[in-house]
Structure 1
Amino acid sequence: MKIFISHSSRDRDMCIKLCDILMEKGHIVFDASVNNFDVGKNIFEVIKTELSDADVFIAIITENFVNSSWAQAELSSVMFSTDSIHILPVVVGDVFVPDFLRGITFIKVNDPEEVTEAVLKGISQLSVDKESSTLLQKRDAVPSRKNDLEEKIGLLKEALIDNQLTLVCGAGISRDSSIPDWNELLVNILNEAFFKENLNIPQSKVLAEDLISLMPQSNLILGKYLRLVLKDDFEKVVQKHLYSYYNQDRDFESSMMVQGQEIINYALETNMMKAIVELARPKRRGKCLESIITFNFDDLIECELSKNNIEYCPIWKEGQIYGMDALPIFHVHGFLPNQREIDSPNLVFSEEAYHSQFIDPYSWSNLIQLNTFSANICLFVGLSLSDPNLRRLLDISWRRNQRCKHYIIMRKAPQKNRTNEIATMLFEQDANSLGLNVIWCSDFSEIPIVLSSITT
């Protein structure tokens, strides 16, 4: 058989022995870290050719493999390929295996010394027929997705008890709380800006929607325009439209209570907020969250903590301090609480404000994030990892210890097809390269359930 071995260069010594024994058995083996390349040859083309010619692709999955962009690229080439090839993953030690590989049976070993024997057993079970692309018999398979989730939840529980867990929140946590998403907020503010400029535009809201759809990557530019037009009223207008639906729902709830009618207001008290409150609530067996980092302007979390008599302290600018018993909530993109004014909200809303934060390595928000990512276990919720500054800070933190110690909860695409499988794989590889393990959910409603399981 022609065998392609993929592994991290840091595991080279472990794989040299494997290569030698496989060649003694009569197999043709290619290992990029062992084989010598002819001078002038394009390494990428050689690897591409060897992959297309291989009968078996062996991936030695270790912690080093998960953190190796080169090994991940080789694995991606095989997963994207339409060629028939046997894929034989060997998981060494306690490694979180990417979810996209769980359709293929793994061989699990606890000790690197067991790798060679495990590979020989695996190859002996492979069909010579290239129509098959998996092991013919399940043997020593890694834990199921359910067990993998339980293991991740267990590690998050330990971090919570040890007061080393930080919750990092994005706009997704407000999805069911009557807070508009970013595009809707921009449309409403832009519509008011047109009115303020005395632009007599028929269907101005439709125009605002069209502008945003035509400039999806330029929302920060629109934010800059809004600051220029609205001037001193900018924060007040943002506050007005940020909470407009929320306050309408709250007023409706109050009127119903006055009339003696019992209602359930999902907008004001969602399962997501309930789960966050429980994470923030001090426990008998240990402490609660060490901190919360949020990219949201709103004070929904603060309101829910107040209702539950949990002490907290919002931080949104340099120089603020908080008591030892208060849970710090760092608003790294600024803070705009409902129905009250604060000094210097520091909203990162325009291109200028974002660039100022991005280029200043000593800004308080960058230092808070970097120190937290380095010192704590972080759980990311409601984020897409598209923010360049967040990615930069995660990358810096990962380079310091090169461990996937953080977690992000993401919703998986509902339809099972090749495109979604590839998208899932690419996202998971990207998250791993930034030091994040992915916890997949099939629906947004599952996310609060995952959060609640950390506290039970």
Structure 2
Amino acid sequence: MDVLKKAVARQPKLPRFLCHLYQRLNLKRLNLVTGAGISVDAGVPNWHGLLDRLAADKSPLKADLGKHRDAGLSPEYLGQIIYHRFRSRHPETEHAELRVATIEHGWGAAIHKAIYKKVPSNINEVVKAHPYLGELRDLARKVPLVINFNFDDILSDAIGEQIKRESNPSGNAMSVTWQPPLTDRPDLTTIYHVNGILPRISLRKRSPHIIFTEDSFANAQARAPGTNAEYLFLRFVQNTMLLIGHSLADSSLKNYLRLNRDKSPANHHYMIFWIRSERDISKSRRQDIFEANLELYNLVTIFLTSSEIEEGAGLDKVTVNRVWPKPSIH
């Protein structure tokens, strides 16, 4: 508890936030929204690191990519450039469908290789080395839905390994999908990969589409059935979301947060803002970020280090109330 008390000294309203989160958890109204940050400590690169790995073995592309990045091009646009170079290495043939299938298979394989290049092959090693994956895994098994923006399956792999080893269930069963689950099932956590999934073990089924490039994002927006958008919108309006590993760079995520603010102004969500240490970000900067996120997105920002995330994810509501009694929740 000493670790988390340092976070309370930094952010005095943290006990109130935690109690509200655990209240929503007990009511089955808490969902998780996970981003690239949860996988970085497992050896997965962030978006720019992934782009660099995809371009690493092609020296002209690597140099050009740096110049494009300096010019301010978005990661999605940079991904489009890399994909275009990759596709151009496969000449046009009379068998157009075979060419497309070959390109898409090779592109998925290239991304898979870049994602898992430095990830240990044994998921237990990943959990042991990660500062809070074990606690996040346990928390995920208490919620009905995890909206995952990552291509990797490290979180679901950790959950699956735990389920395989336990004789008596200590949490929900798990389902992994890249389609919106239209109903909740009791005692089931659904991990919904909104941008597609490339499992670490290649024999596992991958999604037919990987939303990685500028045109894939545009196509996804164009072809997304109304049920997809409506499903996510209702999730944000009717539940409390806890964002972990996000930098708010994803435009679709910001859109859902903004819609929630406009349609359900009393409903607030939470975001864990990772900091390396106490000195990583000044009090005035923390206040700027907190107030901007609250005003723009009804988003409460909680500033935590890795060890504080570990301890916070491992607490239950009883412990929170015992350490910080009568926390005044509204």
Q: Tell me the TM-score normalised to structure 1 length.
A: 0.55
Q: How many residues align?
A: 284
Q: Pick from 207, 214, 221: which aligns with 2:63?
A: 207
Mapped partners of 2:10, 2:211: distance in 1? 38
Q: Pick from 218, 228, 231: which aligns with 2:74?
A: 218
Partner of 1:171: 36
Mapped partners of 1:322, 1:411: distance in 2? 30
Partner of 1:250: 121
Does 2:51 correspond to 1:191? no
Does 2:13 correspond to 1:148? yes
Q: Pick from 405, 418, 439: which aligns with 2:268?
A: 405
Paired residue secondary structure (1:423): helix
Paired residue secondary structure (1:271): coil
Give 1:438 deviation, angstroms: 1.4
Q: Pick from 27, 33, 39: which aligns with 1:162?
A: 27
Partner of 1:369: 232
Are 2:237 and 2:267, in contact at CA under 8 Å, matched by a contact in 1? no
Q: Which has the higher helix share?
A: 2
Partner of 2:196: 334
Are 1:332 and 1:365, in contact at CA under 8 Å, matched by a contact in 2? no
Mapped partners of 1:322, 1:157: distance in 2? 20
Seen in structure 2, the aligned counterparts of structure 1 residues 435 and 332 have a Cα distance that, compared at 3 Å, is same
Are 1:358 and 1:389, in contact at CA under 8 Å, matched by a contact in 2? no
Seen in structure 2, the aligned counterparts of structure 1 residues 318 and 354 have a Cα distance that, compared at 3 Å, is same
Q: Pick from 250, 258, 273: which aligns with 1:395?
A: 258
Paired residue secondary structure (2:121): helix
Q: Deviations over 1:198-222 (max 9, x none)?
A: xxx4xx5852662464255332122
Mapped partners of 1:275, 1:377: distance in 2? 19
1:45-444 mapped onto 2 (5 Å cutoff): 147-192=12-57, 194=58, 201=59, 207=63, 210-211=66-67, 213-228=69-84, 229-230=86-87, 231-232=103-104, 233-246=106-119, 249-250=120-121, 265=125, 269-281=129-141, 288-309=142-163, 311-317=173-179, 324-340=186-202, 342=205, 344-358=207-221, 362-412=225-275, 420-433=282-295, 434-441=297-304, 443-444=305-306
Higher normalized contact order (CA 8 Å, seq sep 6+, divided by chain length): 2
Mapped partners of 1:175, 1:446: distance in 2? 17
| Aligned residue type for 1:402 | P
Are 1:316 and 1:346, in contact at CA under 8 Å, matched by a contact in 2? no
Larger radius of gyration: 1
Deviates more, 1:374-383 or 1:270-279: 270-279
Mapped partners of 1:223, 1:307: distance in 2? 32
Mapped partners of 1:437, 1:375: distance in 2? 17
Give 1:403 deviation, angstroms: 2.0
Paired residue secondary structure (1:335): coil
Q: Deviations over 1:313-362 (max 9, x none)?
A: 11203688885442111111111111225354421101112123445674
Extract unaligned runs of 5+ from structure 2: 1-7, 88-102, 164-171, 320-330
Seen in structure 2, the aligned counterparts of structure 1 residues 376 and 322 have a Cα distance that, compared at 3 Å, is closer
Are 1:153 and 1:453, in contact at CA under 8 Å, matched by a contact in 2? no
Q: RMSD in angstroms over aligned alpha carbons? A: 3.1
Extract unaligned runs of 5+ from structure 1: 1-142, 195-200, 254-263, 282-287
Are 2:176 and 2:191, in contact at CA under 8 Å, matched by a contact in 1? yes
